């Protein structure tokens, strides 16, 4: 069969699953809610353990529901294989521990999800793995930071929450000159808007908790890469570290994937309307959205992404009584439709304060250095009617004057 379109692959996965389930033909992927799998006899069990037979043996290492998700993610990212994990952080840890050991070095962008920054600045150094974080908007910074110990270049584009982009193709070219693999955290874009492997990256990571699941009901992570990398990640790292996904959560993500393209189209359209409206508001001093002409990397966003995503960051002005940071608190405390909560990519609009919440793992000095102003507010624009989201922000911004 000719290669099917992106939407078809989201809904149907790969033909491999159809063959596997030909006898029963369920339309929805079954949940194999089992921890272990019966062997036909002792030799069969031994052969599976020895890798001579590809049957399933134990759900930490693989399960048909997990596999259906992994195949679908690989199919839509354009990679050879996928590995589903318990969380985005489990995916990050599994990738890093597969590629690096004590004495090795990683180069990454300096704005990362706060948990990844914490992993890089606290936990990995305890294991003897050093990370250099550089300004991600210039590929030359990555070239300058690479040493002979560097085993991984780790990118997050657009970065959380500054929405700074990295030129993935340019950084991949630099890293590959040194034989170093490039991993891209594609959580903000999803493969619907950005395909890092086609831009030259080697591994894609998702916090599938976000747009892949899409409904705010499951924590999960995914890696996509070469068969060789995924096999090592599964049978060396995941086997030992153990951050496997539950079959039920894998099923929720499969269900989420079926509507990924339509959800992403609406997230992008709503976010564009909200960002454009925020830019016209006198109480708003800065709006960051890759789809705005005012975004310093708007041209790169147009080149590297097929849409601008659902995240908008903005700063509000203070007044005689309130600092900008205090005015931002008034907005967050007074939204009614948007929910004050971390996470992103849900059908619900979520608003939060990076400096004291998702990115509280950065010191105050680090926050300023990477461009996370104390006044910055991050909004994950959901799928409500855009005029309702805007009306909610308008009334919350209005409260600044009356507080």
Ligand X SMILES: Cc1ncc(COP(=O)(O)O)c(C=O)c1O
Q: Which residues have a catalytic role annotated? A: 60, 113, 185, 210
Which residue, 219 or 268, is less far from ligand X as judged by CB?
A: 219
Query: Please, are residues 207 and 221 in contact by the beta-carbon 8 Å criterion?
Result: yes
**Can you tell me which of 48, 73, 84, 89 binds ligand X, judged by CB under 6 A?**
89
Which residue, 116 or 166, is less far from ligand X as judged by CB?
A: 116
Cα distance between residue 351 and residue 335, in whole Å: 9
Cα distance between residue 316 and residue 399, in whole Å: 12
Site string for ligand X, 4-33 (x = CB under 6 A): ------------------------------
Which residue, 256, 294, 303, is CA-closest to 272? 294
Which residue, 74 or 218, is less far from ligand X as judged by CB?
A: 218
Which residue, 133 or 284, is less far from ligand X as judged by CB?
A: 133
Residue 113 is a binding residue for ligand X (CB under 6 A) = yes
Which residue, 156 or 392, is less far from ligand X as judged by CB?
A: 156
Residue 87 is a binding residue for ligand X (CB under 6 A) = yes
Residue 219 is a binding residue for ligand X (CB under 6 A) = yes
> In 275-317, which ranges are E strands?
284-288, 311-316
* CA separation, residue 36 to residues 33, 70, 237, 249 (Å): 9, 19, 19, 17
Residue 209 is a binding residue for ligand X (CB under 6 A) = yes
3-state helix, strand, coil in the chain (%, to 5): 40, 15, 45
**Can you tell me which of 88, 191, 324, 328 binds ligand X, judged by CB under 6 A?**
88
Tokens of 111: 């704005």
Tokens of 353: 């304060």
Dihedral class, residue 314 (left if φ above 0, else alpha if ψ from -120 to 50, else beta): beta
Site string for ligand X, 152-181 (x = CB under 6 A): ----x---x---------------------
Residue 185 is a binding residue for ligand X (CB under 6 A) = yes
Residues shown for the chain: 403
Binding residues for ligand X (CB under 6 A): 87-89, 113, 115-116, 156, 160, 185, 187, 207, 209, 219, 221
């Amino acid at each position: 069969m000719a290669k099917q379109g992106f939407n078809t692959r989201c809904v149907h996965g790969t033909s491999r699953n159809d063959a596997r389930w030909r006898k029963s033909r369920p339309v929805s992927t079954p949940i194999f809610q089992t921890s272990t799998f019966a062997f036909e006899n002792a030799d069969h069990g031994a052969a599976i353990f020895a890798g001579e037979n590809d049957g399933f043996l134990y759900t930490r290492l693989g399960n048909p529901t997990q596999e259906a998700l992994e195949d679908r993610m690989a199919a839509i990212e354009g990679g050879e294989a996928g590995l589903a994990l318990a969380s985005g952080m489990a995916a990050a840890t599994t990738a890093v521990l597969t590629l690096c050991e004590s004495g090795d070095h990683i180069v990454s962008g300096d704005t990362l999800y706060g948990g990844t920054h914490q992993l890089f600045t606290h936990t990995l150094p305890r294991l003897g793995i050093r990370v250099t974080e550089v300004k991600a908007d210039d590929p030359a910074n990555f070239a300058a930071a690479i040493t002979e110990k560097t085993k991984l270049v780790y990118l997050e584009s657009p970065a959380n929450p500054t929405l700074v982009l990295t030129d993935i193709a340019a950084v991949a070219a630099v890293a590959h000159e040194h034989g170093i693999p490039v991993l891209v955290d594609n959580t903000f874009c999803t493969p619907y808007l950005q395909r890092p492997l086609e831009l030259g990256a080697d591994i894609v990571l998702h916090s599938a908790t976000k747009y892949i699941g899409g409904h705010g009901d499951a924590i999960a992570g995914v890696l996509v890469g070469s068969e060789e990398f995924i096999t090592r990640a599964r049978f060396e790292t995941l086997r030992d570290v153990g951050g496997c996904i539950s079959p039920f959560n894998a099923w929720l993500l499969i269900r989420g994937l079926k509507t990924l393209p339509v959800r992403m189209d609406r997230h992008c359209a709503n976010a564009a309307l909200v960002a454009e409206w925020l830019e016209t508001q006198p109480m708003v001093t800065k709006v960051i959205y890759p789809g705005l002409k005012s975004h310093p990397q708007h041209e790169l966003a147009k080149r590297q992404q097929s849409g601008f995503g659902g995240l908008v960051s903005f700063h509000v002005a203070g007044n005689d009584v309130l600092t900008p940071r205090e005015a931002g608190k008034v907005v967050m405390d007074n939204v009614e439709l948007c929910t004050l909560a971390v996470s992103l990519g849900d059908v619900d609009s979520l608003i939060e304060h990076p400096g004291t919440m998702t990115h509280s793992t950065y010191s105050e000095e680090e926050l300023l250095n990477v461009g996370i102003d104390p006044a910055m507010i991050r909004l994950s624009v959901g799928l409500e009617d855009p005029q309702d989201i805007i009306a909610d922000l308008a009334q919350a911004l209005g409260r600044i004057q009356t507080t």
